[in-house]
């Protein structure tokens, strides 16, 4: 189970890394989102993988580690805020520059006119 979890996290982050290296804004935003999923999974697993152990006192006997959960919870919300900011920035950049290249170049012949 642990190896499966680790491989999945690694693969998701690899996909995220690859997309952040692209040259257009939207794939980079998608890559960042993917990467934040992977990072959240990674951080979450720092407390170990517990089944049927939600950290509700008076509930089950063996609790999952609540601390990484609390951290990841806020990370998810902040991640949304950051994704929103970056994607709106990308829209703005396209509005100002006329293209959606990540380097914000004014003249870009590769732009798909649509």
Partner 1 sequence: MTLFWIALLPLFGSLVPAFTARRGRRECSLATAVLPAVALLLMLFQVPSLAAGEMLRFSVDWLPSLGLELAFRLDGLSLLFNLLILGIGLLILLYAHFYLSPDEPFGRFYAYLILFMASMVGIAMSDNLILLWLFWELTSLSSFLLIGFWSHRSDARKGARMALTVTGTGGLALLAGLLLLGDMVGSFDMNVVLESGEAIRADSRYPLMLSLVLLGAFTKSAQFPFHFWLPHAMAAPTPVSAYLHSATMVKAGIFLMARLHPAIAGSELWSAVVALVGTATLLYGAWFALLKTDLKAILAFSTVSHLGLITMLLGIGSPMAVLAALFHILNHAAFKAALFMGAGIIDHETGTRELGKLGGLRRAMPITALLMSLAGAAMAGVPLFNGFLSKEMFFTETLATPVLGGLSWLLPLLATLGGILSVGYSLRLVHAVFFKPPRQAPPKPPHEPPRLMHAPVAILVAICILVGLFPAALATGLLELATEAVLGESLDFHLAIWHGVNLPLLMSLVALGAGAASYLWHPQLRRLIRSFHPVDARLVFEGAIQRLVRGSEAAITRLDGGSLQRYMSYLWLAALVTGGLGLAGMPVLTGEHGNQPVDAVLLLGAGLLIFGGLGTVLTHRHRLISLLMLSVVGLVVALTFARFSAPDLALTQLSVEVVTMILLMLALFFLPQKTVRESSPMRNLRDILLAGALGAVVASLNYAVLTRDNAPISGFFIDNSVPGGGGHNVVNVILVDFRGFDTLGEITVLALAGLAIFKLLNRLRLFMPHSDGEGRVWSPDRYPMILTTISQAILPLALLVSAFIFLRGHNLPGGGFIAGLITAVALILVYMSRGVEWVQQRLDFPYQPVAVAGVAIATLTGLGSWLFGRPFLTSAFGYFKLPLVGEFELATAMLFDLGVFLAVVGATLMILANLGKLTTTHRPTKQLPPPTADPASKEKR
Closest CA to 76 of 41, 50, 104, 107: 41
Residue 77 in contact with partner 1, rule: CB under 8 A: yes
Residue 103 in contact with partner 1, rule: CB under 8 A: yes
Rounded alpha-carbon distances, angstroms, from residue 42 to 10, 36, 51? 9, 10, 17
Q: What number of chain residues touch partner 1 (CB under 8 A)?
A: 90
User: How far apart are CB 61 and partner 1 at their closest, in Å?
Assistant: 12
Residue 61 in contact with partner 1, rule: CB under 8 A: no
Where in 19-38 is the site for partner 1 (CB under 8 A)?
19-30, 33-34, 37-38
> Using CA atoms, how far apart are residues 75 and 98, in angstroms rounded to an integer?
33
Residue 49 in contact with partner 1, rule: CB under 8 A: yes
């Amino acid at each position: 189970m642990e190896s499966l979890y680790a491989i999945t996290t690694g693969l998701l982050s690899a996909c995220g890394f690859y997309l952040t290296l692209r040259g257009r804004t939207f794939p980079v935003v998608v890559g960042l989102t993917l990467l934040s999923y992977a990072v959240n999974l990674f951080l979450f697993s720092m407390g170990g993988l517990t089944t049927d152990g939600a950290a509700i006192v008076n509930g089950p006997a063996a609790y999952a580690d609540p601390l990484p959960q609390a951290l990841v919870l806020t990370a998810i919300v902040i991640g949304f805020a950051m994704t929103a900011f970056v994607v709106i920035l990308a829209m703005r950049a396209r509005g100002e520059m006329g293209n959606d290249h990540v380097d914000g170049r004014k003249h870009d012949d590769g732009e798909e006119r649509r």
